[in-house]
C-alpha cells in the first residue's frame, strides 16, 4: 500500500513538473515571438547581407511601421503616448520621421531648429520605447539632393554624433530624388557618397537608406552602379493606385541579384496621396513584400485632408494653426480614417 502511494505521488509530481516545464517553454516562446522579436533590445544593430536585412543574431528582420508627415504641421501628433499606442496597438517596430527640407517655406532649410527639435524628441521617445527610428531627409521640391548638400552634411554630422552608439537610429539621406535631369550616376550617388562618409565618421554600424531616381521608382539604376559601403539599403516607394507589376518586377530583379531594397514609403492611394483607396492592390503588394522579406513603412501618420492619411481630418477652428490643433488631439482608434483601420488590420495580422 505504502509503495503504491509513493508511486502515485511520484507520477503526480512528474505530471506537474511536465506541465510547469511546458508552460515555461510556451511562455518563453510567446515572449520571444510577441514581445522581444520586434524590439531593438532583441535585434540590436541591423545590417544587410545580400538582399536581406538582418539583426545582430544574423536573423532576417522585416521593419514595419508608419511615416510622419510635415513636422511643422503634424509633428505634435507624435508624442510618447501616441508612439506607445502605435507600438502596442498597431504592432509596429519602426517610426519614420519625415523631416521635409524645402516645402513651401516650411522644412529644415527654412526652420532648422524647430525641425531638429521634433526629430530628436521623437527619436528619444522611440528609443525609450525600444523602437527603430528612420531619420528621413525628406527632399521634395528640391528635386536634386545636391541642392542642399552642405546642410545635409551638417544635419547628419550632428545626428550621427549625437546617436553614434544607438542601434535604434537609421538614416535615410534622400527621400525621393526627382526631376528629369536628376540621375543616379551624376547626382544621387555622388551626394550619397559624401553623406555616408559624414555619417560613418561618427557611427560605423548604422543602417543607411539611399533614395533612387524618379521618386524612388528606379532601383535598378542603383543596382547597376552600387555604392561601395557596408550596411546600405536602397529605397523604393509605391502607391497602390499608381504602381504595380512593373515596379514589382524591377524590385524582384534587384532581390534576385542580391541587392537590398526597403520600401521606406508606401500608400493606399495613387501617387498624389489622395483619391480612391486601392485596397486589393495594396494587399497584393504586402504579399509580395512578405514573400521577399522586404521592410515597409506606410504613409502617413497624419490627419491631413487626404485619403492616404491614417487619421481623420479635423478642421482648424478659431484661427488656430494645424500644429496648435494637433497638440490637443489624443490619438486613439476613434481617430482612425478608413486607410488607418485598413493598415492597422494588416500590421496587427503579423
Q: Is 77 part of any domain?
A: yes
The pLDDT tens digits for 70-123 are 999 999 999 999 999 999 999 999 999 999 999 999 999 999 999 999 999 999
**Catalytic residue list:** 176, 265
- Has residue 5 been placed in a domain? no
Give CA–CA dist 317/306, Å, rounded. Answer: 18
Q: What is the structure's pLDDT at 24?
A: 43
Task: Tell me the residue range of the domain where 309 lies.
Answer: 61-348
Please report the pLDDT score of residue 195 as a whole number.
98
Is 56 inside any structural domain? no
Give the span between the Cα atoms of 134 and 295, in whole angstroms.
12
Q: What is the pLDDT of residue 14?
A: 52
Q: In terms of pTM, does the model score above 0.85?
A: yes
In a domain, 257, yes or no: yes
Euclidean distance between the first and the last CA atom of the chain, given in angstroms as a whole number: 55
pLDDT of residue 28 exceeding 60, the answer is no
The reply to whether omega before 303 is within 30° of 0 (cis) is: no
Residue 149 lies in a domain: yes
CATH code of the domain containing 145: 3.20.20.80
Q: Per the structure block, which three cell numbers stand in for 344?
A: 492597422
Query: What mean pLDDT is predicted for residues 16-37?
Result: 48
**283 in any annotated domain:** yes
In a domain, 44, yes or no: no
Alpha carbon distance 251, 106 (integer Å) = 33
How many Cα neighbours within 13 Å face the side chain of 247? Answer: 25
Query: Domain for residue 179, yes or no?
Result: yes
What are the tens digits of pLDDT across the range 319-328?
Answer: 899 999 999 9
Distance CA 252, CA 260 (A): 10
Q: Are 69 and 323 in contact (CB under 8 A)?
A: no
Residue-level pLDDT at 36? 81
Query: Which phi and psi angles does 73 have, rounded to 5°?
Result: -100, -50
Count: domains in the chain:
1
The 10s digit of each residue's pLDDT in 279-300 is 999 999 999 999 999 999 999 9
Question: What are the tens digits of pLDDT across the range 251-263?
Answer: 999 999 999 999 9
Amino acid at each position: 500500500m505504502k509503495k503504491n502511494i509513493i508511486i502515485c505521488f511520484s507520477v503526480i509530481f512528474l505530471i506537474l513538473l511536465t506541465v510547469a516545464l511546458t508552460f515555461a517553454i510556451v511562455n518563453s516562446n510567446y515572449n520571444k515571438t510577441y514581445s522581444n522579436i520586434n524590439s531593438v533590445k532583441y535585434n540590436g544593430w541591423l545590417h544587410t547581407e545580400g538582399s536581406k536585412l538582418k539583426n545582430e543574431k544574423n536573423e532576417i528582420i522585416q521593419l514595419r511601421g508608419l511615416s510622419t508627415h510635415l513636422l511643422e504641421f503634424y509633428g505634435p501628433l507624435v508624442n510618447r503616448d501616441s508612439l506607445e499606442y502605435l507600438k502596442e496597438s498597431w504592432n509596429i517596430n519602426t517610426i519614420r520621421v519625415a523631416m521635409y527640407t524645402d516645402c513651401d517655406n516650411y522644412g529644415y532649410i527654412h526652420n532648422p531648429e524647430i525641425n531638429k527639435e521634433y526629430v530628436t524628441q521623437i527619436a528619444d521617445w522611440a528609443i525609450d520605447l525600444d523602437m527603430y527610428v528612420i531619420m528621413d531627409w525628406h527632399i521634395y521640391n528640391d528635386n536634386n539632393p545636391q541642392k542642399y548638400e552642405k546642410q545635409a552634411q551638417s544635419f547628419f554630422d550632428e545626428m550621427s554624433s549625437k546617436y553614434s552608439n544607438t542601434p535604434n537610429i537609421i538614416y535615410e539621406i534622400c527621400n525621393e530624388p526627382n526631376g528629369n535631369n536628376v540621375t543616379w550616376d551624376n547626382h544621387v550617388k555622388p551626394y550619397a557618397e559624401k553623406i555616408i562618409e559624414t555619417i560613418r565618421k561618427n557611427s560605423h554600424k548604422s543602417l543607411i537608406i539611399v533614395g533612387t531616381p524618379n521618386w524612388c521608382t528606379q532601383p535598378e539604376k542603383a543596382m547597376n552602379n552600387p555604392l561601395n559601403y557596408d550596411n546600405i539599403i536602397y529605397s523604393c516607394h509605391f502607391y497602390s493606385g499608381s504602381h504595380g507589376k512593373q515596379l514589382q518586377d524591377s524590385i524582384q530583379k534587384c532581390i534576385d541579384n542580391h541587392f537590398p531594397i526597403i520600401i521606406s514609403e508606401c500608400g493606399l492611394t495613387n501617387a498624389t496621396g489622395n483619391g480612391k483607396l486601392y485596397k486589393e492592390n495594396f494587399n497584393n503588394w504586402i504579399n509580395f513584400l512578405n514573400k521577399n522579406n522586404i521592410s515597409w513603412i506606410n504613409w502617413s501618420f497624419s490627419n491631413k485632408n487626404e485619403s492616404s492619411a491614417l487619421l481623420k481630418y479635423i478642421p482648424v477652428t478659431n484661427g488656430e494653426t494645424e500644429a496648435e490643433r494637433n497638440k490637443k488631439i489624443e490619438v486613439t482608434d476613434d481617430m482612425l480614417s478608413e486607410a488607418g483601420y485598413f493598415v492597422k488590420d494588416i500590421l496587427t495580422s503579423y
